[in-house]
Structure 1
Amino acid sequence: MTYQEKLNEIRNQMKADNVQAYIIPSADPHISEYLPHHYKCIPFTSGFKGSAGTLVITHDHAGLWTDFRYFEQAADELKDSGFELMKQKVQHAPEYIQWLIEKLGKGATVAADDKLLSVLLGDLLTQQFSAKGISLTSKDYLSPIWENRPALPTEKAFLIEDKHIGQSVKSKLEQVRAALQKQGAAYHLVSSLDDMAWLFNIRGKDVSYNPVVLSFALINQDQATLFVDRNKLTTEEKETLLKSGVEILPYEQVAQAISNIPENSSIFIDPKRNCFAFYKLVPASVRIIKDTNPSTNLKAVKNETELSNTRTAMLKDGVAITRFLKWLSEHIGKITITELSAAAELRKFREQQEGFVGDSFTTISAYKAHGALPHYGASEESNVEVKAEGLFLVDSGGQYFYGTTDITRTIPMGNNTEEESTDYTLVLKGMIDGCKVRFPKGTCGYQIDAITRKPLWDYAINYGHGTGHGVGYFLNVHEGPQTFNPTATPVAIELGMITSVEPGVYRPGKHGIRIENLVNTIQDISNEFNEFYAFEALTIAPINTKIVKKELLEQSQIDWLNSYNALTFEKLSPMLNAEEAEWLKAETKAI
């Protein structure tokens, strides 16, 4: 079926049900960012492969709502699909709701598969539509037309020993139960896959890049039930979980368990990370408490074992990055190097590192104008040769058995313009300020975001994505609750949180620049004014200084840059051969 034929079939079903609009979000019943192939509904329906977006279909219009990161990609991928790009002003904002309200009349019906709606979104749609006399109903119009739909993954899962995590499953459950008691909740439903992985010290291969397992949990003060495909675990692993107080039931039985929660009881549900369908299964007499999963907050604060192991992973990753940068500098102009072949070479260097499991996301290997697309993914169709001129942006990361990495370096390839040099220096200024900031306890991410942006704002330059995101421990490369972005999210940056710092400049048709390090929040000083925190540099890899305009940097920024590159040489050189160490010494020379 062509995309247009699929669109016609969906509209036929809508007409039969007297439905005026159909919403398809990018989600699964776990409200995941990265989806199993079974739930890649937007690529199936429209051809758009970006990781954020919403399709809205009416009888006379079909649109994809997505943010600026995907405008060019979407415009290209939606050609001849019957879908029109609807440019979102704010990341992740459901701006299509107001569009539907204005387009549809009173008495209209909007449908969506409520297994793909978060509780938060389901409530929002219900409230805003009902206020205008529009009803919301649950329909799945894709399954009837999706021939050979990929099955749910059956890959084996595995448990990580407590000693490699630094905390036992039993201890984690005790922490969650203590949080439930404070909230006055008898039960707790967990659907988000990274929370599940953290809580049960379990990892798997059910989703690309994220080592998670399709599963749910229902927890009370006496029992923890893990709903998972039992074939994913060995008999020994099931016994290990049982000894930790975890009962295992089939994945499909979670819906029945929710329906059977005792009357007049209470349940704790994270509205952002549970699906609307399960929320509606909770018996009417059960009191629902909505808040962030306790495990989300607990998981964000890494313990000493996790931090120590992550530092090891960062060094291994730094060796791979250094060897890649050296290879690139020595081979550019001598052999044909493309965006795809460069990404493949980087992957090879990572594969040589002990404990490497796979990439933590699709490598963004973006040369010249492609760098202006923040989430660009090179394909056979878009792939271009990287030459000895302009800027080459590489954003990549690795999953190791002892940590998750995420690093961006923008590489001057030669013959760089004044504009490129200025933009590069301004991004570097912002990144340095974000990394070297001292801040009082209680500071939130939007304050760090503003500090990082100021060097760019001074030149009337801005970027449309967040400055930083939380990073998991051998888990999702994007995790909350902390985030560095302009939204006034009231989440304080706590000790032991791992977060990225990644400002950028994007000039359409010209170039993109982003420089990214991961940092760990550490204690700085305490005085009569407050307890102050700072950031420890976790990412250890050289920052190129060839086109830096030193006159644009303050002395404190120069000192930080020289100190960071010196630290990189000190940490990595013992892990390199003599030739590699000599190259790195020159690359990290003080300016």
Structure 2
Amino acid sequence: MNVNQERIKQLQQEMKAAGMDMYLVPTADFHQSEYVGTYFKVRAWLSGFSGSAGTLLVTADKAYLWTDGRYFIQAAKQLEDTGVVLMKMGEEGVPTVEEFLEEQLPENGCLGCDGRTIHVAEGKAFEEMLAKKNGILKCDKDLGGKIWTDRPEMSREPVYLLDIKYTGKSREEKIEAVREEMKKAGANTHIISSLDDIVWLLNIRGNDIMYNPVVLSYVMITMDKVYFYVQEEAVSEEVRGELEKAGIEICPYFAVYEDVKGLKASDKVLLEDICTNYTLYKAIPEHTEVVFEANPAAIMKGNKNQTEMENIRIAHIKDAKAMCRFIYWLKQNVGSGEVTEYSAAEKSLELRKEDPDCLDLSFETICAYGPNAAMCHYAPTETEYAKVEPKGFFLIDSGGQYWQGTTDITRTIAVGVLTQEQKEHFTLVLQGHIRLAMAKFQYGCSGANLDPLVRGPLWERGLDFNHGTGHGVGYLLNVHEGPQNINWRMRANGRRGNMTPFEEGMLTSNEPGLYLEGKYGIRTENLLLCRKAEKNGYGQFMEFENVTWVPYEREAILPEMLTKAERQWLNEYHKRVYEIVGPMLDEKERAWLLEATAEI
């Protein structure tokens, strides 16, 4: 019995003692964050699967792990010999977690979980399903935490202030704008649990989740007060003073659960059901009316203002310099036999950190050679990595956190001879990428409308990729941010961002790919700013502005597969890359870039 089997057996013993038939362990903190701090990695500790997305369900004698297409290969590898059954989400014949529970939970059964790690909509759905079976939901026990005896402490990294020269708006202006939206909803109280929305609203940042500069906290806004629930040792006197000037009262982190119990019958509370944990919601008195709507801050945060947009352009030029230097370094050194996936990841970090405005990475760098690149979110470690050979493809997906914004870029690089198949596949991915970059569309179009543009070249050949085409990106914030995304698939849960219309100022990734298990993976990613184009009798048209300036791999492109318009776009893009980045490089790097951006 390996360590994960032992841990799950311990959990099953605790379940039995608590009278639970099944126990749910999602990938979540108390704020429904996509990525979580080490304290909250209960699912990973129990199962052995370290991916950022997954749900563990433990029964009296078995365990199941649901994850999405980004992690199928990784999960299969990490769950080997653990006894945990991999449930591939979206695959034919694989039930959802909810369907599985409805089918397998016995009559009069009990489902357990830590209610702080499921959101309101999930909790309500579980209660409704259990009612049909005369069952109950016990959501007051953190059983995983009970058996995790050497669990790390909850992070309480220092909070720091973000200057208005970066934010474009003061915290007072933002709070007032949120109150205006509260009035429209008829609410006099607004509870915010989502960490990125909170730090955006208060013009602060932190480091409580690796690569995501957020602060573990809650906010409750009334029409005359703002309560900031935070671990008080994380707040310096300087930060406290600035927040108090704006009428923000600092309160202990966990005090929010008691404070909401004091809400009156005359109060009307606005909160977002998929961002608020179930335990917090259940603490609100039954006599208090709750309005479920999207957090106003989330909508405002997604539409970058003019100051943020200008800073974002600067951040991406800084990032382009580092990435161009990285590609030159890789091509110069791959033949030495000394380059590994891990050393390449370290080199990309080193080059980014040479810029004093780079604070950190925006996510764990994905450096993947050959078959490893077929695992969408594979990342090497200091002890587990592949050597990069002078043949085939090398994929790097990386980004930085700058004072001027957040970057995210993927390039698939030829490190040696390519096959005809590799070139065809690379060109198909690039073609879809270019089609989105070139898109002009009517205002009101969403990611669901635009996704077929990107996937078209692959679909025509019976090919596809099993992840979204694009996600929103924050400003010195989470690299994955809503409300928008680009994905044709309809999601039963979540903000359904693929139906959110594109607005001016939205920063979105453009990242089609293709993955052949055991062979190679290809992905090409730029970030796009949505801008208004012309307005005429047909309506308001929208378009995208590229902010990423790094060459695509010319050696992998088959020009004859591209249309004339696509080739023209590519040549103009490469010309612009050289104009922007060339002057920042040394002589040898500049000579390489001139060749890398030559017309095709």
The CA distance in 1 between the partners of 2:286 and 2:43, in whole Å, is 33
The CA distance in 2 between the partners of 1:463 and 1:131, in whole Å, is 38
Letter in 2 for 1:573: G
Alignment counterpart, residue 308 of structure 2, candidates 306, 309, 333: 306
Q: Specify the alignment match of 1:431 in structure 2.
A: 433
The CA distance in 1 between the partners of 2:146 and 2:520, in whole Å, is 44
Q: Specify the alignment match of 1:105 in structure 2.
A: 106
Residues 202 and 94 of structure 1: is their aligned pair in 2 closer, same or farther, counting only changes over 3 Å?
farther
Q: Report if aligned partners of 1:188, 1:219 keep a CA contact under 8 Å in 2.
A: yes
**C-alpha offsets along residues 174-219 of structure 1, whole Å, 9 cap, x if unaligned?**
1100000000011110011100110001111111000111111000
Q: Report if aligned partners of 2:341, 2:368 keep a CA contact under 8 Å in 1.
A: yes
Equivalent runs, 1:383-462 vs 2, <5 Å = 383-462=385-464
Equivalent runs, 1:82-97 vs 2, <5 Å = 82-89=83-90, 95-97=96-98
Structure 2 residue 515 is matched with structure 1 residue 506: yes
**C-alpha offsets along residues 4-48 of structure 1, whole Å, 9 cap, x if unaligned?**
222122111211222110000000111111111111011111111
Q: Report if aligned partners of 2:529, 2:545 keep a CA contact under 8 Å in 1.
A: yes
The CA distance in 1 between the partners of 2:245 and 2:178, in whole Å, is 18
Q: Specify the alignment match of 2:11 in structure 1.
A: 10
The CA distance in 2 between the partners of 1:123 and 1:453, in whole Å, is 36
Letter in 2 for 1:113: D
The CA distance in 2 between the partners of 1:496 and 1:523, in whole Å, is 9
Q: Specify the alignment match of 2:44 in structure 1.
A: 43
Structure 2 residue 115 is matched with structure 1 residue 114: yes
Structure 2 counterpart SS, 1:142: helix
**C-alpha offsets along residues 458-495 of structure 1, whole Å, 9 cap, x if unaligned?**
11111110000000000000000000011354310000
The CA distance in 2 between the partners of 1:547 and 1:63, in whole Å, is 41
| 1:260 shift after superposition | 1.1
| 1:153 shift after superposition | 1.2
Alignment counterpart, residue 566 of structure 2, candidates 542, 553, 557: 557
The CA distance in 2 between the partners of 1:233 and 1:24, in whole Å, is 31
The CA distance in 2 between the partners of 1:458 and 1:326, in whole Å, is 34
Structure 2 counterpart SS, 1:358: strand
Structure 2 counterpart SS, 1:298: helix
Q: Report if aligned partners of 1:67, 1:90 keep a CA contact under 8 Å in 2.
A: no
Q: Specify the alignment match of 2:231 in structure 1.
A: 229
Letter in 2 for 1:491: T
Letter in 1 for 2:34: E
Structure 2 counterpart SS, 1:546: helix
| 1:163 shift after superposition | 2.6
Q: Specify the alignment match of 2:196 in structure 1.
A: 194
| 1:367 shift after superposition | 0.8
RMSD: 1.5
Q: Specify the alignment match of 2:504 in structure 1.
A: 495
The CA distance in 2 between the partners of 1:260 and 1:487, in whole Å, is 42
Query: Which deviates the most, 34-43 or 570-579?
Result: 570-579
Q: Specify the alignment match of 1:65 in structure 2.
A: 66
Letter in 2 for 1:589: A
**What 5-or-longer segments of structure 2 have no aligned partner?**
491-497
Letter in 2 for 1:145: I
**C-alpha offsets along residues 503-556 of structure 1, whole Å, 9 cap, x if unaligned?**
011111111100000000012111111110100001111111112111110011
The CA distance in 2 between the partners of 1:347 and 1:32, in whole Å, is 25
Structure 1 counterpart SS, 2:103: helix
Query: Which deviates the most, 446-455 or 426-435?
Result: 446-455
Q: Report if aligned partners of 1:569, 1:588 keep a CA contact under 8 Å in 2.
A: yes
Structure 1 counterpart SS, 2:228: strand
Q: Specify the alignment match of 1:144 in structure 2.
A: 146
| 1:132 shift after superposition | 3.4
The CA distance in 2 between the partners of 1:269 and 1:3, in whole Å, is 37
Alignment counterpart, residue 175 of structure 1, candidates 164, 173, 177: 177
| 1:60 shift after superposition | 1.8
Q: Report if aligned partners of 2:430, 2:524 keep a CA contact under 8 Å in 1.
A: yes
Query: Which deviates the most, 22-31 or 222-231?
Result: 222-231
Q: Specify the alignment match of 2:537 in structure 1.
A: 528
Q: Specify the alignment match of 1:270 in structure 2.
A: 272
Structure 2 counterpart SS, 1:280: helix
The CA distance in 2 between the partners of 1:63 and 1:37, in whole Å, is 22
| 1:90 shift after superposition | 6.6
The CA distance in 1 between the partners of 2:384 and 2:317, in whole Å, is 32
Query: Which deviates the most, 129-138 or 178-187?
Result: 129-138
Q: Specify the alignment match of 2:293 in structure 1.
A: 291
Query: Which deviates the most, 296-305 or 80-89?
Result: 80-89
Letter in 2 for 1:51: S
Q: Report if aligned partners of 1:7, 1:82 keep a CA contact under 8 Å in 2.
A: no
**What 5-or-longer segments of structure 1 have no aligned partner?**
none
Residues 575 and 94 of structure 1: is their aligned pair in 2 closer, same or farther, counting only changes over 3 Å?
farther
Query: Which deviates the most, 65-74 or 272-281?
Result: 65-74
Query: Which deviates the most, 191-200 or 330-339?
Result: 330-339
The number of residue pairs the alignment matches comes to 590
The CA distance in 1 between the partners of 2:91 and 2:579, in whole Å, is 42
State the TM-score, normalizing by the size of structure 1: 0.98
State the TM-score, normalizing by the size of structure 2: 0.96
Structure 2 residue 373 is matched with structure 1 residue 364: no
Q: Specify the alignment match of 2:527 in structure 1.
A: 518
| 1:285 shift after superposition | 0.7
The CA distance in 2 between the partners of 1:144 and 1:580, in whole Å, is 55
Q: Specify the alignment match of 2:23 in structure 1.
A: 22
Q: Specify the alignment match of 1:548 in structure 2.
A: 557
Residues 177 and 94 of structure 1: is their aligned pair in 2 closer, same or farther, counting only changes over 3 Å?
farther
The CA distance in 2 between the partners of 1:26 and 1:63, in whole Å, is 14
Structure 2 counterpart SS, 1:332: helix
Q: Specify the alignment match of 1:246 in structure 2.
A: 248
| 1:99 shift after superposition | 1.3
Residues 486 and 13 of structure 1: is their aligned pair in 2 closer, same or farther, counting only changes over 3 Å?
same
Query: Which deviates the most, 471-480 or 128-137?
Result: 128-137
| 1:286 shift after superposition | 0.8
Q: Report if aligned partners of 2:42, 2:145 keep a CA contact under 8 Å in 1.
A: no
Q: Specify the alignment match of 2:494 in structure 1.
A: none
The CA distance in 1 between the partners of 2:95 and 2:243, in whole Å, is 40
The CA distance in 1 between the partners of 2:6 and 2:332, in whole Å, is 50
Structure 2 residue 342 is matched with structure 1 residue 333: no
Letter in 1 for 2:107: K
Q: Report if aligned partners of 1:401, 1:474 keep a CA contact under 8 Å in 2.
A: yes
Q: Report if aligned partners of 1:520, 1:536 keep a CA contact under 8 Å in 2.
A: yes
| 1:233 shift after superposition | 2.0
| 1:129 shift after superposition | 2.7
